[in-house]
Amino acid sequence: MVQAKKLTYTSHIAASIVLTDITPVILTYNEAANIGRILERLAWAREVVVVDSVSTDETLAIADRFPNVRVVSRPFDTHAQQWRFATTETSIASDWILRLDADYIMEPALRDEIAALVPTPEVAAYQIGFTYCMDGRPLRASLYPSLPVLFRRGRGAFVQDGHTEKLRIDGPVVPLANRLLHDDRKTTERWLQSQSRYQASEAEKLISRPWSELSWPDRLRCTRVLGPIAVAVHCLFVKGLIFDGTAGLLYTAQRVTADLILSMHLLRRDIAK
């Protein structure tokens, strides 16, 4: 994860970010449950680039309703490759790129904070935290990390990391005060199908790395048993999600299920040895 750095701004060499000089970029595959909500909040953008992995639902029909959206199709291979293509091969000319998932929502306070930014030339990116929502109900906390979301074009490189990607930033990263909402409305069946694929990649990542390079959570996951238990305790009691009622319990159930699926992939590999 990129470490955020605090910078002292010097106004006479800094230049304001103009919202119309930011290009939001979104990856999609069968995101009809989500895509309309995020595009509604991006009406301020001169152009939004949607890179679609050949969706078969109403994703593209919904995107076509927004006049500032340009859709580019590309069959999916990896998240890192898809993001590299989306940010470097879709003729984006703006100085700044706002990378978004289809299940994010950008609220007016974050938009206004970005519009007021006056970055010095060395600032390469801005890191944004997330408020996780379950069917529209915000949680007090989650396991979702803050990410460098707004970055200068040409100052970020995507690398594959397990089932997903990481964005490595060339230069200082500054944290923002306001947050994005993460609110995925896809069905439980779709979520389970995705987790089966994701956790297979996570299992491959865990077994391919030396023990010394693994974080403590990943070391617990490698036990095949302690990972799901630790996730349940951490979500419910450390993060306090037991106080978020049904939404907190559902989020915890999802995270425990993801770790159980990971354990099953690891155990199946053990049996096949």
Closest CA to 102 of 166, 184, 191: 184
Amino acid letter, residue 200: A
Cα 105 from chain centre? 11
Output the average pLDDT for the chain.
Answer: 94
What is the pLDDT, as a whole number, of residue 39?
98
Non-local CB neighbours of 193 within 8 Å, separated by 6+ positions: none
Q: How many CB atoms lie within 10 A of CB 263?
A: 20
**pLDDT per position as a tens digit, 52-68:** 999 999 999 999 999 99
Amino acid letter, residue 148: P
What is the pLDDT, as a whole number, of residue 43?
97
Say whether domain 11-182 belongs to CATH 3.90.550.10: yes
Residue 140 has pLDDT above 60, yes or no: yes
What is the pLDDT, as a whole number, of residue 1?
40
Burial 141-162 (b: 16+ CB within 10 A, else e): bbeeebbbbbbbeebbebebeb
- Round to the nearest angstrom and report the end-to-end CA distance of the chain: 33
Label residue 12 exposed, middle or buried (CB < 10 Å: 0-12, 13-18, 19+).
Answer: exposed
What is the pLDDT, as a whole number, of residue 16?
84
Q: What is the mean pLDDT of residues 189-200?
A: 96
Label residue 57 exposed, middle or buried (CB < 10 Å: 0-12, 13-18, 19+).
Answer: middle
Closest CA to 1 of 149, 208, 222, 219: 149
Residue 156 has pLDDT above 60, yes or no: yes
Residue 79 has pLDDT above 70, yes or no: yes
pTM above 0.85, yes or no: yes
In the chain, % of residues over pLDDT 70: 95
What is the pLDDT, as a whole number, of residue 13?
60
What is the pLDDT, as a whole number, of residue 15?
77
Residue 9 has pLDDT above 50, yes or no: no
Q: How far, in Å, CA of 193 to CA of 224, rounded? A: 21
Residue 25 has pLDDT above 70, yes or no: yes
Residue 4 has pLDDT above 60, yes or no: no
